């Protein structure tokens, strides 16, 4: 497998793992708004290339017809097998950004907000309804042609749900329907990166994978513990998700095996 990495701090962890395993890789900068790579990589076999870095690398992978390239995923909110287990799914308000000023009442009610698509246009966070309306109005004041890629747009689909108190949050990395590594990344309000997961949380994550085996050859899943039990927070593109305290060596080994499956 040919590994192409965007050059920044988090992918350095992956580069270290590739060096330990003696697997060649190249580092590149991404030209803003254009998406080309510097230096331009020499593609040896377009059917055996994987890319890690910003989510927007999927455009380069698609343009060059690289496989597997970037493992794009569908919005987790659309996956019916997971609906009973979602933290922010039941009762969610799904709304286009352009419709927010008209349809969302302006008050101080708090909402958990995130894009439906795994696009990184806006990180998941809690905002008041008034702040969400102001955010939408700022975007709508811009001409769509003037909005850079990767930013909120007039037609961005957003999900708004009731905020929930979370006790612990974990990320698990799934390759070929198997959890290959995991990391705690939040404990209460504290950001904590440790390569650990509670036994029941790991079993819960395995159950979620089994419930939806055809979701993607590789992805990450965030799960959490609340006062009401374990819940599925979201899924993310494995090529653009932060590594936290994951075992990147095991991740590389698993993705390398995908080539022969």
- What is the tens place of the pLDDT at every residue in 49-91? 999 999 889 999 999 999 999 999 999 988 999 999 999 766 7
* The predicted structure's pLDDT at residue 14: 97
Asked whether 139 and 259 are in contact (CB, 8 A), the reply is no
Strand-pairing partners, residue 126, are: 112
* The predicted structure's pLDDT at residue 90: 63
Task: Say if strands 2-6 and 25-30 run parallel, antiparallel, or are unpaired.
Answer: parallel
* The predicted structure's pLDDT at residue 205: 98
- What is the tens place of the pLDDT at every residue in 1-14? 999 999 999 999 99
Q: Report phi then psi at 201, rounded to 5.
A: -70, -40
Q: Report phi then psi at 112, rounded to 5.
A: -85, 125
Asked whether 31 and 37 are in contact (CB, 8 A), the reply is yes
CA dihedral 233, 100, 95, 72 (to 10 degrees): -60
pLDDT band, residue 164 (cuts 50/70/90): confident
CB atoms within 10 A of CB 40: 8
Q: CB neighbours of 76 closer than 8 A, spacing ≥ 6?
A: 82, 86, 118, 232, 234, 235
* The predicted structure's pLDDT at residue 162: 85
CB atoms within 10 A of CB 53: 23
pLDDT band, residue 259 (cuts 50/70/90): low
Asked whether 57 and 64 are in contact (CB, 8 A), the reply is no
Task: Say if strands 93-96 and 37-38 run parallel, antiparallel, or are unpaired.
Answer: unpaired
- What is the tens place of the pLDDT at every residue in 173-185? 999 999 999 999 9
What does the radius of gyration of the chain's CA atoms come to, in whole angstroms?
19
Q: Nearest to residue 179, comparing CAs of 160, 199, 161? A: 199
Asked whether 226 and 87 are in contact (CB, 8 A), the reply is yes
Average pLDDT over residues 9-37: 93
Q: DSSP states of 82-148 as a string?
A: GGGGBSS-TT-EEEEGGGHHHHS--SS-EEEEEESSS--SS--EEEEHHHHHHHHHHHHTS-GGGSP
pLDDT of 41 > 90? The answer is yes
pLDDT of 171 > 60? The answer is yes
Q: Helix (H, G, I), strand (E, B), or coil: what is residue 226?
A: strand
Average pLDDT over residues 213-236: 96
- What is the tens place of the pLDDT at every residue in 87-128? 976 678 889 999 999 999 889 999 989 888 876 677 788 999
- What is the tens place of the pLDDT at every residue in 132-150? 999 999 999 999 888 887 7
């Amino acid at each position: 497998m040919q590994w192409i990495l965007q050059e920044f701090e988090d992918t350095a962890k992956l580069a270290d793992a590739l060096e330990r395993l003696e697997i060649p890789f190249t580092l590149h900068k991404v030209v803003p708004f254009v998406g080309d790579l510097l230096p331009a990589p020499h593609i040896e076999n377009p059917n055996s290339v994987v890319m890690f870095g910003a989510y927007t690398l999927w455009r380069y992978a698609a343009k060059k017809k690289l496989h597997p390239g970037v493992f794009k995923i569908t919005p987790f909110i659309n996956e019916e097998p997971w609906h009973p287990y979602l933290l922010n799914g039941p009762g969610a308000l799904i709304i286009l950004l352009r419709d927010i000023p008209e349809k969302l009442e302006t008050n101080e009610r708090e909402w958990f907000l995130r894009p439906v698509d795994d696009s990184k246009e806006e990180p998941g966070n809690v905002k008041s309804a008034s702040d969400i309306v102001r955010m939408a109005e700022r975007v709508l004041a811009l001409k769509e042609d003037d909005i850079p890629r990767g930013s909120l747009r007039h037609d961005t689909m957003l999900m708004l749900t009731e905020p929930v108190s979370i006790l612990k949050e974990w990320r698990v990395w799934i390759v070929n329907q198997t959890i290959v590594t995991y990391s705690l990344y939040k404990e209460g309000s504290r950001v904590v990166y440790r390569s650990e997961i509670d036994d029941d949380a790991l079993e819960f994550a395995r159950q979620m994978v089994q419930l939806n085996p055809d979701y993607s050859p590789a992805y990450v899943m965030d799960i959490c513990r609340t006062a009401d039990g374990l819940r599925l927070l979201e899924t993310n593109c494995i090529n653009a998700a932060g590594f936290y305290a994951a075992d990147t060596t095991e991740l590389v080994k698993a993705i390398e095996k995908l080539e022969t499956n």
